[in-house]
Amino acid sequence: MKTTIFNTPLISPFLRFLSNSIMRLIGWRVEGSLPDLPKYIIIGAPHTSNWDFLLFLAVIFHLKADARYMGKAELFRSPLGWFFYWCGGIPVDRKKSTGLVEQMVEASKKSEKFILTIAPEGTRHYVSEWKMGFYHIARSAGIPLVMAIVDGKKKTMRVGQVFHLTGNMDTDIKTIKGFFEGMVGVNPRKKYITLKD
């Protein structure tokens, strides 16, 4: 198992304590737990603020998960490349003949445990359609999705709802969006997620 910010002795427990303390201080809480499954993709929404990353990081620490995220390959070749790896990053090389989905599927196959985090909106700004990369990765890798629902009104992150793809993409996406319907993120001025998106 690779050493990351989430499993480094001494450092990780301290960061977990710090993030839990900050969460309590600002009034946010986590409801639910992650499933006891070796591989899955966590999708988090609504994504409405730059603070979402820190919130999600705190949630991952709270849940004691060893999660991964995708990043541009160039970041991992820089002098700080080690830091992005340590934070759980998986480099995505857009110059490769294989696409993003194939690269993530390969990363999943090479790992005994694989928890990938994705914000399906792809941006903190309002979008009418989600990016479907998370769906294609899950389908190709044969792994389920786990919901991480940001409820800005109640200052709660709800996690743990597992969804196994049926193969009917239109129906699946409607069901998945249904878990997030009516939710508003950290920034209350952003639009609610609705099934009409």
Residues 6+ apart with CB under 8 A from 89: 68, 69, 70, 71, 75, 76
State the total domains in the chain.
1
Q: Tokens standing for 32?
A: 């639910």
Task: Judge whether 197 and 174 are in contact, CB under 8 Å.
Answer: no
Higher pLDDT, 46 or 62: 62
The arithmetic mean of pLDDT across residues 3-23, rounded, is: 93
Say how far apart CA 129 and CA 124 lie, in whole Å. 13
Confidence grade of residue 27 (pLDDT, cut at 50, 70, 90): very high
Residue with the larger pLDDT of the pair 183 and 145 = 145
158 phi, psi to nearest 5 deg: -100, 125
Q: Residue 21's pLDDT is what?
A: 94
Distances from the Cα of 100 to the Cα of 135, 137, 142, 194, 196, angstroms: 12, 9, 16, 27, 28
Task: Kindly tell me if the per-residue pLDDT of 177 is higher than 70.
Answer: yes
Residue 66 belongs to some domain of the structure: yes
Identify whether 78 is part of a domain.
yes
Query: Which pLDDT belongs to residue 187?
Result: 67
Where helices occur in the chain by DSSP H, the ranges are: 11-26, 52-63, 73-77, 81-86, 100-110, 133-141, 169-180
Give the model's pLDDT for residue 193. Answer: 52
Q: Please check whether residue 89 lies inside any domain of the structure.
A: yes
Q: Does residue 103 lie in a domain region?
A: yes
Domain annotation covers residue 92: yes
Residue of higher predicted confidence among 131 and 67? 67
Residue 110 lies in a domain: yes
Residue 20 lies in a domain: yes
Whether the predicted pLDDT of 84 surpasses 60: yes
- Model confidence pLDDT, tens digit, residues 93-137: 877 756 889 999 999 999 999 999 998 875 555 556 788 899 999
Contact 72, 92 (CB under 8 A): yes
Q: So what's the pLDDT on residue 197? A: 42
User: How do residues 135-161 score in pLDDT, each as one tens digit?
Assistant: 999 999 999 999 999 888 899 999 999
Q: Which domain holds residue 23?
A: 11-180
